[in-house]
Amino acid sequence: MTARPDEAQILNAWLANAGPWERAVREGRIESRQLVTDRAIVEAVLARAPRRVIDLGCGEGWLAHALAAKGIEVIGVDAVPALIDAASVQGGDFRVISYEQIAAGALREQADVVVCNFSLLGDASVSGLLAAVPGLLAPGGVLLVQTLHPLAVATDEPYSDGWRQGSWIGCGDGFGQPAPWYFRTLGSWLAAFATAGLQLHSLAEPVHPHTGRPASVIFMAGAS
């Protein structure tokens, strides 16, 4: 089946902007990450005391390396070869695999934690990936998803599912066309988990210290 244009645009934008993104992360340019969200997802993973983690949409590998430094075995997966190359420079198990390939069974390993940190941007591609997650979870394992909190998104848009225009604002210079992304309400996220055979265990809302508003939402779900 041919991918929807919006789905293809997501990957194309990341392929084109892999270099600027790696620099933005390495140089700590993104304020919300430095103040809130990086620490929040690391702590959420460590709270599970996992032996093995699968990082889906691992990008340039910062989270995988942070967890590996704690003695955790990590498999990092991303569809962008340049980001996997950047992650691999520091060592570790990093693989170029798309979400569609994972949905088709290309990833056979299981882990105590499967984590998606701001990496679920599409519509059909995300639904297919989530459906594959129960098969990636070891007994008692969980999925952790950190994504933009709906309250952190511009309020001039209707509170309903749909495609939104992306932005590189706050990431520094050198970026081209941003990737579109698919907005989900909180209710739609819960429905997506349920459809995939995942049951929500908890929901956390890390708060930005300057605005006092949620910077993100972290879902934890397990196989139902």
Residue closest to 85 by CA, chosen among 121, 108, 118, 59 = 59
> The pTM is what?
0.95
Rg over alpha carbons for the chain, rounded to the nearest Å, is: 16
pLDDT tens per residue across span 64-111? 999 999 999 999 999 999 999 999 999 999 999 999 999 999 999 999
Q: How many helices (H) and strands (E) does the chain have?
A: 8, 9
Q: Is the pLDDT of residue 4 over 70?
A: no
Give the CATH number of domain 5-223; options: 3.50.50.60, 3.40.50.150, 3.60.140.10, 3.30.2350.10: 3.40.50.150
How distant, in Å, are the alpha carbons of 32, 39, 66, 78, 155 from that of 206? 10, 10, 19, 25, 19
Q: How many residues does the chain have?
A: 224
pLDDT tens per residue across span 23-79? 999 999 999 999 999 999 999 999 999 999 999 999 999 999 999 999 999 999 999
Tokens of 223: 């196989």
d(CA 28, CA 38): 11
